[in-house]
Amino acid sequence: MDVNQLKAVYFIGAGGIGMSALVRYFLSKGKKVGGYDRTSTELTEKLIGEGALIHYEEDASLIPDEFKDAGSTLIVYTPAIPDTHAELVYFREHRFTIHKRSQVLGMLTHSGKGLCVAGTHGKTTTSTMTAHLLHQSHVGCNAFLGGISKNYGTNLLLSDQSDYVVIEADEFDRSFHWLAPYASVITATDADHLDIYGTEEAYLESFNHYTSLIQPGGFLIARKGIQLCPRLQEGVTLYTYSQDEGDFHAENIRIGHGEIFFDFISPLGNICDIQLGVPIAINIENGIAAMALAQISGVKNEEIKAAMLSFKGVDRRFDFKIKTDKLIYLSDYAHHPEEIKQSILSMRALYEDKKLTAIFQPHLYTRTRDFYQDFANSLSLLDEVILTDIYPARELPIEGVSSQLIYDHLRPGIEKTLCKKEEILDILRSKEVEVLITLGAGDIENYVPEICEILNQR
């Protein structure tokens, strides 16, 4: 279906962070936009305020009449929606054009120059940083982000002057196989989503296939040392990067007094004295990948340096909520063992003399089943762990799988508490904390305002 011929777009799962960027995109194109989501959130209410018609009951009779012309309406859904969803069934029975979110993003990368960031973790921060670097430069970009940029208060950036499209390339459900990148970063290939892939080998094969989709004459920037066997088309240039080595890397790193400086070493031109606007150690590596994409896209070195300093980060990614001499509170979306490890190590580097406490809400029964030992190893880097019950998301419970698996494998001697999420606030009231991190991709974020209130009363 030609996007220009569309009159209406209907989203099933409209409030998802990736879906909402497309909702905003089609609103900006003057289309009638509506959809369904399971619950009302701050984001869905903002979308309604921007012109989207969204309801919260799974009921085909609630679909507005302006979305019932199969010839001029596109239906977009997220893989988290079950095949039995009443509205999805209605649209299938009435022969509407139905696309996954990733298919729509794929159309945009085929028509422009896609700058895509793939990998088990680091995608959202790196893609948002890349978008900021281009948006603040003479190059410009469109961007569909997997988080809310704190610089712009949105997950969508638009430009009428630029062919570049920054996209977070999601490997869940093999979604990134719909893309056709001009240039791509791959940050990590640590196994995940084994409920979809079955084996680590199948997960890695998915990334290998993804590399074959990079357009001829394009670029692959792969983190040095990851498991990857690229299948590059003719004329695709392969670069490596990491914090300490690779074609793109950092030298002369200086961390102290809440600030991070380093020199960016690049085959396209070094940049001295980069200062991170969000001074977290992992952002050195995220920044290297983002700056590599920016240089490839023609952003000037002085533009890169200024934008790295002005970058404010992403909601729920190393998101400082309280930052005083006596108390630090950080909210982080980390939900994979390696992400959690990097989050904790980054905080250790900044606050090595303080007690680190984390509240962790595991995400998915299958992920807990597959990686409970790895979760325990990462969380054992903390001084204290408060562990809540599992956030199920799209899954039903699995017999024998609970947060107790992680709890039982934490290192001996660590302070630890196992609780229901409803007990978090009362437990926190009874504890003295110096540095607190809330970790997880579930609804633990809903407790952040009340946690801030409790801590600010200290």
Cα–Cα distance measured from residue 199 to residue 75, given in angstroms and rounded to the nearest whole number: 32
CB-CB contact of 153 with 193 (8 Å) = no
Q: At what angle do helices 42-49 and 17-28 cross, to 10 degrees?
A: 10
CB-CB contact of 376 with 404 (8 Å) = no
Range 3-100 classified under CATH 3.30.70.980: no
The predicted pLDDT at position 118 comes to 95
Neighbours of 318 (CB within 10 A): 24
Residue keyed to tokens 């900006």: 28
Can you name the residues that pair with 360 across neighbouring β-strands? 387, 439
Local structure of 22: helix, strand or coil: helix
The predicted pLDDT at position 139 comes to 97
Q: At what angle do helices 282-296 and 337-350 cross, to 10 degrees?
A: 110
Q: What angle do CA 77, 83, 85 make, to 5 degrees?
A: 75
Q: How far apart are the first and last CA of the chain?
A: 57
Cα–Cα distance measured from residue 391 to residue 402, given in angstroms and rounded to the nearest whole number: 10
Residue keyed to tokens 């194109």: 29
Question: Digits of tens for pLDDT over the chain (458 positions)?
Answer: 566 778 999 999 998 888 999 999 999 989 999 999 988 888 999 999 999 999 999 999 999 999 999 999 999 998 778 889 999 999 999 999 999 988 998 888 788 899 999 998 889 999 999 999 999 999 999 999 988 999 999 999 999 899 999 999 988 888 899 999 999 999 999 878 777 788 989 999 999 999 999 999 999 999 999 999 999 999 999 999 999 999 999 999 998 777 899 999 999 999 999 999 998 888 999 999 999 999 999 999 999 999 999 999 998 788 889 988 889 999 998 888 988 998 999 888 888 889 999 999 999 999 999 999 999 999 999 999 999 999 998 788 999 999 999 999 999 989 999 999 999 999 999 888 999 999 998 889 889 999 999 998 87
- Please give the biggest Cα pair distance in the chain: 64
Cα–Cα distance measured from residue 284 to residue 338, given in angstroms and rounded to the nearest whole number: 16
Architecture of the structural domain at 319-456: Alpha-Beta Complex (3.90)
Q: Residue 73 has which token pair?
A: 């309406």
Q: What is the pTM assigned to this prediction? A: 0.81
Range 112-310 classified under CATH 3.40.1190.10: yes
Residue spans per domain, the chain = 3-100, 112-310, 319-456
